[in-house]
Structure 1
Amino acid sequence: MNAELIWVLSLLAVAVILFATDKVRMDAVALMVIVAFVLSGTLTLSEAFSGFSDPNVILIAALFIIGEGLVRTGVAARMGSWLVQVAGSSETKMLVLLMVTVAGLGAFMSSTGVVAIFIPVVLSVSARMKIAPSGLMMPLSFAGLISGMMTLVATPPNLVVNSELLREGLQGFHFFSVTPIGAVILLLGIGYMLVARFTLKGRERDDGKEGWKRRTFRDLIKEYRLSGRARRLAIRPGSPLIGQRLDDLKLRERYGANVIGLERWRRFRRVIVNATGGTEFRVRDVLLIDMSNSEVDLREFCGEQMLEPMILRGEYFSDQALDVGMAEVVMTPESELMGQAVRQIAFRSRYGLNVVGIKRNGEAIAGGLLDEPLQLGDTLLVVGNWKLISQLGQQSRDFVVLNLPVEEQEASPAHSQAPHAIFCLALMVALMLTDEVPNPVAAIIACLLMGKFRCIDSESAWKAIHWPSIILIVGMMPFALALQKTGGVDLIVKGLMEVGGGYGPHLMLVCLFVLCATIGLFISNTATAVLMAPIALAAAKSMGVSPYPFAMVVAMAASAAFMTPVSSPVNTLVLGPGNYQFSDFVKIGVPFTLIVMVVCVLLIPVLFPF
């Protein structure tokens, strides 16, 4: 072992310790590694910075943007809503559909992002079904990890391994090369979690913790006594409202009816549109009206205006969270509007939002909201467009937005562009499948089209890229090159050959999987793939067998981060909401990791013969 190799291994050990202790940011550690290699003369400047020119780094950045486009257009959130509707009250059905949906979405976007989206969905479902979230949170995280085994672009380790194949002059994997393995593991994972979830039952969240006090639409509706006050009324053909502007009709003055929203058919579905003074009514529009100030008989009102009452369920606002927002606001002490009533302020005309509730001294005011003079300390509940609610808090000197409900996380600023986002995703997959266009170029085309269709804007695209992950990949790539130059790869391969080389390639796959899984306990799966990919290819070359099964086992093992809550960000995300302990992941994750290893060792050689 030469001095240069000792230096590289020492630097690797220091990096692993820093990753494991989390005392220094991972991207900062990666940049320090680059500097250390250049200053020590181990690598040239171009070699140390070669990661910045790797096409897969561009591909990974583009995939972050595409995933954000799916979030902003509400594609992921709608999948969550569909999940709740289909599963009903069956916990088993919910678990199966949850894992399938998360694995499917995670095949094309960040698994961390998908899990983050579904955490509030699972919490809501758990509350509705009156079960502990712990029974669904770990299946959620496991499905997020398994999603990395579903397609080539599902997770950075797959792309890192594929890049190493191309660097060695070999043909890379196809888009769906990993899918058969991932599908088998997903099926086994569902069966495993259906049994293992019973060991996680009984742990309820501590709702006394400050972090869990964020309210829902349902909570606000109850606090402000909105139940029974709102009505849904459809405009029938021949109604005198058709073609009239809201301000001209003076429904508040004539009937005490406050129009707080409007459902309108757009692209084969009803969406909520903001009701302003200039809104012109059309046939088939559905008015959402607050009748709390009205003394007029509802039947008389509907008959005179040719309106048809429709069902208004308690979950209405929650179901419409993509289109309509709800928030509590309070008037600032220096506001000139103090003492004026909502009607005098012309709140709807000025801010584009409707006041549907007022709370004074902790109690909701029963009626006469529009004519009630506002006092210092009053809290107003407003309903309207999420963007307008945000603008009220940012631009108005008269009001401060106090609390945004949980549903705000599900709001999608570009939800009307969802069909375009799906088209962009489908186009990217199609281009990748044809192999006529390089994968990074296909992803960039999809990103540009998402920008063209306004699925995402430039600021959101820039923020969507997880730069620490990009820098981590770029910074760890020189390690593989340094280990090759100093003989480190040959040394590790020699050790592997001594352990399992004489027993055939199957045992070597076991050794590679165990080594990857062990390293993955201390550093990220991406960094693990960067280090292990060249070792796997060198081991295959040493044994005189095909490199593809060896490369594939590294990719699969890198995603098999089931054993601890710090092995992967998706595990860390569900740790608090599921009220898990460290031992829960060890108890559930270790056996499943062994199952995944057995599947990989037996199945990969069938799909990719030695």
Structure 2
Amino acid sequence: VAVGVLYMLLVGHRLLPSVSLSEEIGRIQRLRRELSDTYALGERLSEVRIPGKSPLVGKSIAASQIGERLGLTILAVCRDGQPACVAPGSEHILGAEDTLLIAGRDERVRQLADLGADVLETTTWDNSLSTDQTALLEVILAPRSNAAGHTLKELRFREKYGLSVVALWRGGRPYRTDVGNLQLQFGDALLVHGPRGNVSVLRADPDFLVLAEPDDPPRARKGWLAAIVMALTLVVVALDLLPIAVAMMLGALSMIVTGCLTVDEAYRGVEWRAIFLVAGMLPAGIALNRSGATEWLSQLLVTVLADWGPLALTSGIFLLTALLTQVMSGQVSAVVLTPVAVTAAYQVGADPRAVAMAVAVGCGMVFMTPTGHPVNVFVMGPGGYRFRDFLRVGLPMTVLLFLTVLIVLPWFWPLG
């Protein structure tokens, strides 16, 4: 940790893009209060009224082709005497004298006149997009998200979540027209608008990470209780009073029983994909052992690196683990490589504890790609970083930590 911090303070920050990211990050951090300003929504919000004799009357939004032909997004439909319909679905029927809140370029909005709509000169919606009933929030793609490479239309985003994507942030600038036809990329940030009650549906989807608008304000009065529960759990584990799995489960249940967490919050906090992925790979690890693949891989490592000694074996295993972690989760890398590493260590006379620790540390070398860890994706969009920025900063850091591990490991476990 100390080596990594010193690297970033002395060298790493100099390898970041030379653009003025401090102002950019500062502006993005103010999104919770100024999202509409950040995405310049005021320049792209318009109000349109549908006259009684318009051919749009009685048509669904899908049939009107407002989005299909013009690339515009209908954020809300307001009808006299009724609450506004926020994030209307594609089957919502347009009525006479309806007022539509639309996001998109002015020239595209003016083309609505050809479809039988009247464009109003001013809009009063800009300051009321986020209310007690509606939310304006930012969302990014999760690491290894299945949504990457697909458009919002292909994902049926509005129909699935009941929310509208107002704008997309990519490469330091917002896109507010034809958003539904843009293929999503890692690092994209989506500005989403819709009923607050629908946010929980999006938050529960592992393909997206919601950066703002928590469901409920933090329960600060329960903070001291949560700290006590966590401390007691760690004490029980440290004193070996209970198995770690039992102690952690009791601690989690205590958080719910005492009101520090709700059942839904606890459920959302579980990384289910990682759990099922690891559970699925455990049989693969057993199969590697029983089929002889572990023996074969370890023998291959020994054949290639044995003449160079235990240090070379430890180095090779560390580098192999670090590379695999860039394309699969660290948990899976550990499950697959640990038995291979330990078997190879026994064959060359190396301390298996040192080699196993090399695997464990190698699983944490997630600095070279944006998909290596969720935190990387969190900072990619708001920071304006690209794939090559992670490689530029992360590769030297990985090499430095690799050398550090080779120096420190023998202090605790002699390699030979």
**Residue 423 (structure 1) aligns with:** 228
Give secondary structure in 2 for the equivalent of 1:436. coil
Q: Is the alpha carbon distance of 1:432 and 1:215 closer, same or farther for their aligned partners in structure 2, counting shifts above 3 Å?
A: same
1:196 and 2:1 correspond: no
Give secondary structure in 1 for the equivalent of 2:370. coil
Please point out which of 232, 255, 262 is paired with 1:457: 262
Task: Supply the distance in 2 between the matched residues of 1:593 and 1:447 (Cα, whole angstroms).
Answer: 34
TM-score by length of 2: 0.56
Task: Supply the distance in 1 between the matched residues of 2:15 and 2:215 (Cα, whole angstroms).
Answer: 31
**CA shift at 1:575, angstroms?**
1.8
Task: Supply the distance in 2 between the matched residues of 1:563 and 1:464 (Cα, whole angstroms).
Answer: 26
**CA shift at 1:218, angstroms?**
6.7
| CA deviation vs aligned residue, 1:422-457 (integer Å, no higher than 9, x gap) | 112112221221122111111111111101210111
| CA deviation vs aligned residue, 1:124-157 (integer Å, no higher than 9, x gap) | xxxxxxxxxxxxxxxxxxxxxxxxxxxxxxxxxx
**Residue 435 (structure 1) aligns with:** 240
2:36–2:126 contact (8 Å) kept in structure 1: no
Give secondary structure in 2 for the equivalent of 1:455. coil
Q: Amino acid of the residue matched to residue 12 of structure 2?
A: A
1:331–1:400 contact (8 Å) kept in structure 2: no
Q: Amino acid of the residue matched to residue 553 of structure 1?
A: A
1:205–1:577 contact (8 Å) kept in structure 2: no
Q: CA RMSD in A?
A: 4.0
1:187 and 2:2 correspond: yes
Q: Is the alpha carbon distance of 1:503 and 1:586 closer, same or farther for their aligned partners in structure 2, counting shifts above 3 Å?
A: same
Q: Amino acid of the residue matched to residue 500 of structure 1?
A: L
1:570 and 2:353 correspond: no
**Residue 317 (structure 2) aligns with:** 512
How is 1:219-238 mapped onto 2 (pairs within 5 angstroms)? none
**Residue 397 (structure 2) aligns with:** 592
**CA shift at 1:603, angstroms?**
1.0
Please point out which of 249, 252, 276 is paired with 1:471: 276
Q: Which runs of 5+ in 1 are unaligned?
A: 1-185, 222-329, 339-375, 394-398
**Residue 583 (structure 1) aligns with:** 388
Q: Is the alpha carbon distance of 1:533 and 1:332 closer, same or farther for their aligned partners in structure 2, counting shifts above 3 Å?
A: same
Q: Amino acid of the residue matched to residue 418 of structure 1?
A: G
Task: Supply the distance in 1 between the matched residues of 2:385 and 2:266 (Cα, whole angstroms).
Answer: 34
Task: Supply the distance in 2 between the matched residues of 1:191 and 1:213 (Cα, whole angstroms).
Answer: 25
| CA deviation vs aligned residue, 1:47-86 (integer Å, no higher than 9, x gap) | xxxxxxxxxxxxxxxxxxxxxxxxxxxxxxxxxxxxxxxx
2:223–2:260 contact (8 Å) kept in structure 1: yes
Task: Supply the distance in 2 between the matched residues of 1:603 and 1:514 (Cα, whole angstroms).
Answer: 16
Q: Is the alpha carbon distance of 1:473 and 1:219 closer, same or farther for their aligned partners in structure 2, counting shifts above 3 Å?
A: closer
Task: Supply the distance in 2 between the matched residues of 1:496 and 1:548 (Cα, whole angstroms).
Answer: 17
Q: Is the alpha carbon distance of 1:400 and 1:472 closer, same or farther for their aligned partners in structure 2, counting shifts above 3 Å?
A: closer
Q: Amino acid of the residue matched to residue 538 of structure 1?
A: T
Task: Supply the distance in 2 between the matched residues of 1:499 and 1:412 (Cα, whole angstroms).
Answer: 57
Q: Amino acid of the residue matched to residue 533 of structure 1?
A: T
Task: Supply the distance in 1 between the matched residues of 2:309 and 2:349 (Cα, whole angstroms).
Answer: 11
Task: Supply the distance in 1 between the matched residues of 2:347 and 2:235 (Cα, whole angstroms).
Answer: 37
Please point out which of 532, 544, 548 is paired with 2:353: 548
How is 1:133-532 mapped onto 2 (pairs within 5 angstroms)? 186-194=1-9, 195-204=11-20, 215-217=31-33, 333-335=79-81, 389=132, 408-409=213-214, 412-532=217-337
Give secondary structure in 1 for the equivalent of 2:383. coil
Q: Is the alpha carbon distance of 1:205 and 1:332 closer, same or farther for their aligned partners in structure 2, counting shifts above 3 Å?
A: farther
**Residue 187 (structure 2) aligns with:** none
Task: Supply the distance in 2 between the matched residues of 1:500 and 1:519 (Cα, whole angstroms).
Answer: 19
1:196–1:588 contact (8 Å) kept in structure 2: yes
**Looking at both structures, which has the greater relative contact order when contacts are Cα pairs under 8 Å and sequence separation is at least 6?**
1
Give secondary structure in 1 for the equivalent of 2:223. helix
Q: Is the alpha carbon distance of 1:605 and 1:435 closer, same or farther for their aligned partners in structure 2, counting shifts above 3 Å?
A: farther
Give secondary structure in 2 for the equivalent of 1:456. coil
Q: Is the alpha carbon distance of 1:400 and 1:411 closer, same or farther for their aligned partners in structure 2, counting shifts above 3 Å?
A: closer
**Residue 408 (structure 2) aligns with:** 603
**CA shift at 1:207, angstroms?**
10
Of 538-547 and 212-221, the range deviating more from structure 2: 212-221
| CA deviation vs aligned residue, 1:31-55 (integer Å, no higher than 9, x gap) | xxxxxxxxxxxxxxxxxxxxxxxxx
Task: Supply the distance in 1 between the matched residues of 2:384 and 2:129 (Cα, whole angstroms).
Answer: 34
Task: Supply the distance in 2 between the matched residues of 1:412 and 1:455 (Cα, whole angstroms).
Answer: 12
Give secondary structure in 2 for the equivalent of 1:560. coil
Q: Is the alpha carbon distance of 1:542 and 1:423 closer, same or farther for their aligned partners in structure 2, counting shifts above 3 Å?
A: same
Aligned length: 268
Give secondary structure in 1 for the equivalent of 2:382. coil
Give secondary structure in 1 for the equivalent of 2:384. coil
1:217–1:407 contact (8 Å) kept in structure 2: no
**CA shift at 1:472, angstroms?**
0.5
Q: Amino acid of the residue matched to residue 419 of structure 1?
A: W
Larger radius of gyration: 1
The percent identity for this pair of structures is 26
Give secondary structure in 1 for the equivalent of 2:391. helix
2:134–2:196 contact (8 Å) kept in structure 1: no
**CA shift at 1:594, angstroms?**
1.0
**CA shift at 1:204, angstroms?**
4.6
Q: Amino acid of the residue matched to residue 16 of structure 2?
A: L
**CA shift at 1:190, angstroms?**
1.4
**CA shift at 1:567, angstroms?**
2.6
Task: Supply the distance in 1 between the matched residues of 2:274 and 2:373 (Cα, whole angstroms).
Answer: 12
Q: Which runs of 5+ in 2 are unaligned?
A: 38-75, 85-122, 137-193, 200-209
Give secondary structure in 2 for the equivalent of 1:576. helix
**CA shift at 1:408, angstroms?**
3.4
Task: Supply the distance in 1 between the matched residues of 2:379 and 2:247 (Cα, whole angstroms).
Answer: 33
Q: Amino acid of the residue matched to residue 318 of structure 2?
A: F
Give secondary structure in 1 for the equivalent of 2:213. helix
Give secondary structure in 1 for the equivalent of 2:242. coil
TM-score by length of 1: 0.39
Task: Supply the distance in 1 between the matched residues of 2:329 and 2:129 (Cα, whole angstroms).
Answer: 44
* Higher fraction of helix: 1
**CA shift at 1:391, angstroms?**
9.7
Q: Is the alpha carbon distance of 1:189 and 1:337 closer, same or farther for their aligned partners in structure 2, counting shifts above 3 Å?
A: closer
| Ranges of 4+ aligned residues in structure 1 off by more than 3 Å | 204-208, 211-221, 330-338, 376-383, 389-393, 399-402, 404-413
